[in-house]
Structure 1
Amino acid sequence: MRDSISRDTGLTLDLALTVRHDGDGGTADDLADPAGLTAWVRAHPDALPGADRFTADAEDLTAVRELRAAVRALFARAVRPDAPSPADAARLLPVPEALRRLNDAAARTPTVPVLRWAEGAGPVARRRPVRGEDDLTAVLAQAAIGFLAGPDRQRLRACHAPRCVRYFLKEHPRQEWCKPSCGNRARVARHHERHRRTA
């Protein structure tokens, strides 16, 4: 699946999925501290320039977590009329606040388009910072904008299997869950519910 989605889509989904089910009925946060953010950034060297040299501090962590809250609020809007992820349902940012956070973060690093055209390949447009290195939250926000304004947004769904808090891209018409294990959990839960009602 990863080969068929854009860099913006992959990076944005990966950011949103740093909130996940913890296996015990709650949620876990991969960005709980600066070390978690450092590890997450370093795991994305192809999408985040300078990822191998990045070390997060408390300010970076706060900025990225605030951006992630905005992204997840906008994901909840994107999946309407379906319900958002259960992790978000009770604490969604208002859409105007989510949009403000996203747009403010995207503006932190002014960029210009740069065309690259290698021999034997097609032209590729990339954005480059006007000066210095990209601000991490600006890169993430710009990727989120690219995803939310692009065609992949139409395939975005919230997984509603028991205990799951993930968003995913629907790959085929009958897909209801983010992964097979969630489908299995949902079927088992329905089976138990049917037997409980008939008992």
Structure 2
Amino acid sequence: MAADRLALALAVTIRHDGNGGVADDLTAPEGLTDWVRELAEPLRDALDAEDFTADTAALDAVRELRAAVRALFARAVRPGPPSSADAHRLLPEDQAMARLNAAAARAPGAPRLEWPDGGAPVVRAARPPGFTDADRLVAALARDAIGFLAGPERERLRACPAPRCVRYFVKDHPRQEWCKPSCGNRARVARHHRRHRTES
């Protein structure tokens, strides 16, 4: 998964735990702090990720946004099935869109030109004062999700069909069927076991 796909990175903070269950990387503020710091580069316009420390309010806001993103991802992969992690408790789509749009509006964004000596001009987002890092984080994640869902990658979004996998992924090449090779191996092993059980 490309690190610059923030919406996808947010969605897959819910994942298979390796033991037949589901793991959530965002159960505590420390988990959110670590996750944001891992995504420092794609978040550089929104906040100084290395200095970010999550609190409970930031964690709650990001988790609420993630629920909206996953509900809208479930809609995007139709007619295929959604991730089994939350298929039984998805937000209603109108509520998910309202939550996503409200999150995107939490902090204003405006372009700012930077042109270093000897370098090429670069457009960055301005960070207006008066907004918290949590506001900027949630707004940046929501704006990325809006761009993702309204862009061409939405057509390649899939829920991984491997046994026990709960991740979403972008199908980057025509033959890709799973989110990662280990899921493909798990699917082939499960298929092999099913075949041998029916032959016995």
User: TM > 0.5 between the two?
Assistant: yes
Q: Write the deviation string for residues 24-77 of structure 1: whole angstroms up to 9, x where unpaired.
A: 111001101011011111111112221111111111111000000111111111
**CA 1:45–1:31 in structure 2 vs 1: closer, same or farther (change >3 Å)?**
same
Corresponding position of 2:63: 65
Could you state the TM-score of these two structures normalised by the residue count of structure 1?
A: 0.89
1:99 to 97, 100, 106: 97
After TM superposition, the structure 1 = structure 2 runs for residues 44-83 of structure 1, keeping only pairs within 5 Å, are 44-48=39-43, 49-83=47-81
The code of the aligned residue for 1:79 comes to V
- Alignment partner, residue 32 of structure 2: 37
Q: How does 1:143-182 map to 2 (within 5 A)?
A: 143-182=144-183
Gaps of 5+ in 1: none
Aligned residue pair count: 193
2: CA distance, partners of 1:112 / 1:180: 40
Q: 1:70 to 1:129 in 2, by over 3 A?
A: same
| Distance in structure 1 (CA, Å) of the matches to 2:89 and 2:115 | 45
Give the aligned residue type for 2:112: V
Task: In structure 1, give the amino acid aligned to 2:52.
Answer: F
TM-score by length of 2: 0.89
Unpaired runs of at least 5, structure 2: none
- Give 3-state SS (helix, strand or coil) of 1:36's partner: helix
- SS of the residue aligned with 1:32? coil
In structure 2, distance between residues paired with 1:155 and 1:126: 28
Identity across matched positions, percent? 67
In 1, the alpha carbon distance for the partners of 2:114 and 2:70 equals 33
Aligned-residue CA RMSD in angstroms? 1.8
SS in 2 for 1:86: coil
C-alpha distance in structure 1 between counterparts of 2:51 and 2:195, whole Å = 54
The residue aligned with 1:12 is 7
- 74-83 vs 149-158, which moves further: 149-158
